[in-house]
Structure 1
Amino acid sequence: MRHPLLAAIVMLQGGGAFAAEPIVGRASVTDGDTVVIQGTRIRLFGIDAPESAQVCEDAAGKEYRCGQVAALALSDRIGEAPISCEPRDTDCYGRTLAICRKSLEDLNAWMVAQGHAVAFRRYSSEYVGQEAQARAA
């Protein structure tokens, strides 16, 4: 695992390298997998969380605002602390895809482990283990 303050270099589909300095600062949470730091929209790489207004059903079949719950969980976890996001790529909406950390804690992994997001297998298998643990719990 690279230190969060080092530049991220990742091979893209086209064979080129994506290199960028970490984006560091205080984050505002848009939803359970998107934050904004210093005007830069960042999508948490390798995970998928419900949209802010999305409604889900719990195990008993009762509806709840899962998107709001996910966004609040991420916001509460970050609190007032600065976070560091290591860019991995850019998505089709122009958002930076990154692994974000609060201190040394991988926030992407935390969201999946807590059951607020799932591993986005279409793009990465990095958080499949955390998803399996969350489902078992």
Structure 2
Amino acid sequence: MGLTPLASADLFTGKVVSITDGDTIKLLTPEKELLRVRLTGIDAPERKQPYFNRSKQILSDLCFDKPAAVDSLGRDRYQRVLGRVTCDGVDANAYMVFQGVAWVYTKYNTDSSLVEYQSKAQAARKGLWQEPNPVPPWEWRRK
């Protein structure tokens, strides 16, 4: 996920118009620009992986059709905006980890609070942490 700087501001606002999966949304800005946004520091289950539907549904319940702000870190190689997403006042990145429907993406995460949320979710056996050996998405993709 190499970062490339954004040409414009580091903060985007708008309305969430689509949920791709548990870590990607589409945001429609007030200027009617449609942005694909990847939530940084987390990685949600892949399409055929257990908890994919649950993860997508939880992000949808939190963000779909609601106002959102994206504190951007740049763009990835797929031209998605990378950032911390707040939906209707809630930190979506942290929420997904705390609900046990996304992993901390240790390779790219720089926020220690996400690690704490994941530990709490694991201790409470929330979501995917109910499974005996949940497979992180980055390992799933390698198969």
TM-score normalized with structure 1 length: 0.74
Deviation at 1:34, TM superposition (A): 0.1
Match of 1:135 in 2: 122
Q: CA RMSD in A?
A: 2.3
Runs of at least 4 residues off by over 6 Å? 16-19
**What are the residue-to-residue correspondences of 1:43-58 with 2, within 5 Å?**
43-51=38-46, 53-56=47-50
User: What is the total number of aligned residue pairs between the two structures?
Assistant: 115
1:37 equivalent to 2:19? Answer no
Match of 1:20 in 2: 9
Task: Return the structure number with greater strand share.
Answer: 1
Deviation at 1:18, TM superposition (A): 8.3
- Structure 1 unaligned runs (5+)? 1-11, 57-65
Contact 2:100 2:121 in 1 (8 A): yes
Contact 2:3 2:74 in 1 (8 A): no
Deviation at 1:136, TM superposition (A): 0.5
Deviation at 1:17, TM superposition (A): 9.2
Task: Return the structure number with greater helix share.
Answer: 2
Match of 2:129 in 1: none
Contact 1:18 1:88 in 2 (8 A): no
% same residue:
33
Deviation at 1:19, TM superposition (A): 6.7
TM-score normalized with structure 2 length: 0.71
- Structure 2 unaligned runs (5+)? 29-33, 125-143
1:80 equivalent to 2:62? Answer no
